[in-house]
Structure 1
Amino acid sequence: MARMCRPVQLGEPASEPVPVAGCDVCGALAQQRAGAYGVGDRSKVTDCNVEMRRHAHPRVVRA
């Protein structure tokens, strides 16, 4: 029996996160990502991007 499925619709790929200026964690992840690109390790690149997106930055409270 034939199965009728809807075609898959994929969106545009997400752009890479930009490291926050002055954040040591973002800076380290950006360096790791650059190194992973250099050796062709796309899995590591993705891991760094996910960590950078999930990394919480303290909110600046202005008086």
Structure 2
Amino acid sequence: MARMCRPVHLGEPASEPVPVAGCDVCGALAEQRARAYATGDKSKATDCNVEMRGHSHPKAVRA
């Protein structure tokens, strides 16, 4: 019996996260991502993007 499946519609891939200026963690992840792309390791580059998106930054302290 044939299986009736609905077509899958994928959206555009998310853009890469931009590192926050002055954040050492974001800077290190951006460097790792660049090295991963340079060596063709797209899996590692994706891992860096996921980690950068999930990285939280402390809220600015208001005086």
Q: Normalising by the residue count of structure 1, what TM-score does the alignment of the two structures yield? A: 0.96
Alignment of 1:9-48 (within 5 A): 9-48=9-48
Mind listing any 5+ residue stretches in structure 1 that lack a counterpart?
A: none
Displacement of 1:61: 2.9
Secondary structure of the residue aligned to 1:56 is coil
Mind listing any 5+ residue stretches in structure 2 that lack a counterpart?
A: none
Distance 1:6 1:15 in 2: 27
Displacement of 1:62: 2.1
Task: Give the length in aligned residue pairs.
Answer: 63
Q: Normalising by the residue count of structure 2, what TM-score does the alignment of the two structures yield? A: 0.96
Distance 2:40 2:26 in 1: 21
1:55 pairs with 2:21: no
Distance 1:60 1:11 in 2: 34
Q: Percent identity?
A: 83
Q: After TM superposition, where is structure 1 displaced by more than 6 Å over at least 4 residues in a row?
A: none
